[in-house]
A = this chain, B = another copy of it.
Amino acid sequence: MITNKNTDGNSNSKNKTFRKKSPSTADLVQGILNGDIATLARAITLVESTNIAHFQKADDIINQCLPHSGKSIRIGITGVPGVGKSTFIETFGTHLTALGKKVAVLAVDPTSTISKGSILGDKTRMQELVKDRNAYIRPSPTGYSLGGVARKTRETIILCEAAGFDTILVETVGVGQSETAVHGMVDFFLLLKLAGAGDELQGIKRGIMEMADAIVINKADGKNIEQANLAKVEFSKALHLYPPKENGWTPKILSCSAIQKKGITEIWEVIKAYIDDKPGLDGILEKRKIQNKYWLLQTIEDRLKQQFYENKNIKNHLEQMIKLVVDGKISPFNAAEKLLRLSKEPNS
């Protein structure tokens, strides 16, 4: 029963599993390349470990898996709570495995850092998929900031691809900047919505509609169908007013009923169209190169900031300096210079 391991969101017990026996980097990489799920899960646990002793080994595994990664379509799925993400992934994922796809379902859920749970932790919402031998469900890593969660998920994508998964679904609950993080690691970004855009838009953060490669209006069933069709028209009009995508792709508006398994084929057709047509594929490869460079520079900047804000002098003076700036007592730029000088001085 891999499902227990799969959906085990508790890092302690994960580390326990890991401590039982510590296989070599070569063993782990070989197991991953053989598509052994237990080894994959163990390697991901190592990658997610907050234990510094594991960092080097994790980096080695990732770098050795890199040449075998990338042969998948990475699909990001977002939407406000209540839109039915889990049911959609359950239906969409089983639809794909039925087509012979190997589907890995990951999550970027910064809240799981606090709740120690995860949006994928609740197995009962994906009963079909957790039992599916061609699906691997992994909850969001815990114990990290959004930046850390995003990094770990991105590394997990590499391991899953090396293990032979050809379709990666990355779910995000859309807290803070998590959609932006997920948008930055996937090829295709799918925004789930409900009919009645006007009211429902309150729930969306700025910029998300512009990120979407497809907007899918879920729960288009029963007496919602008419409203869903109206919403489709409304969104098409709205998207018409957005600037075109860099890669020339025109975002598509679809509707579905995840619970009644309706409209799922059409969604996959759209994603296939996105991948299949030559410019689309070039677009994906080009997009991934840009994403890789983005993550390099982003990580550098995150670490530089981290080092600065962890500096004792800064910890001691930042709040007071912010107050002076907010109250208009000192110019923001002058305050920045003062803090930068402080960060280079011995503790005060």
A residues adjacent to B (C-beta < 8 A): 59, 62-63, 66-67, 69-70, 151, 154-155, 158, 197-198, 201-202, 204-207, 209-210, 234-235, 237-238, 240-244, 288-289, 292-296, 299-301, 303-305, 308, 321-322, 325-326, 328-337, 339-340
Contact between A293 and B325, CB atoms less than 8 A apart: yes
The answer to whether residues A206 and B336 also contact, given A63-B331, A237-B237 and a CB cut-off of 8 A, is no
Closest 7 CB pairs of A and B: A299-B336, A295-B332, A296-B332, A238-B241, A304-B304, A289-B326, A296-B325
Contact between A59 and B331, CB atoms less than 8 A apart: yes
A169 to chain B, nearest CB (A): 21
Contact between A62 and B334, CB atoms less than 8 A apart: yes
Interface hub of A328, A329, A331 (most chain B Cβ within 10 A):
A331
A83 to chain B, nearest CB (A): 16
What are some 9 contacts across the A-B interface (CB < 8 A)?
Answer: A62-B331, A66-B328, A66-B330, A154-B333, A197-B241, A201-B241, A234-B241, A292-B325, A304-B340
Contact between B308 and A158, CB atoms less than 8 A apart: no
In angstroms, Cα B331 to Cα A292, docked, is 8
List of B residues within 8 angstroms of A210 by Cβ: 206-207
Copies of this chain, tallied across the complex: 2
List of B residues within 8 angstroms of A69 by Cβ: 328
* 17 extra interface residue pairs, beta carbon distance < 8 Å, beyond A197-B241, A301-B304: A59-B333, A59-B334, A62-B331, A63-B331, A69-B328, A154-B333, A155-B331, A206-B210, A235-B241, A237-B238, A292-B326, A296-B322, A300-B339, A300-B340, A301-B305, A304-B308, A304-B340
List of B residues within 8 angstroms of A339 by Cβ: 300
In angstroms, Cα B68 to Cα A329, docked, is 11
Output the nearest chain B residue to A304 by Cβ-Cβ distance: B304
In angstroms, Cα B299 to Cα A142, docked, is 32
Contact of A70 among B59, B244, B328 (CB under 8 A): B328
In angstroms, Cα B333 to Cα A234, docked, is 41
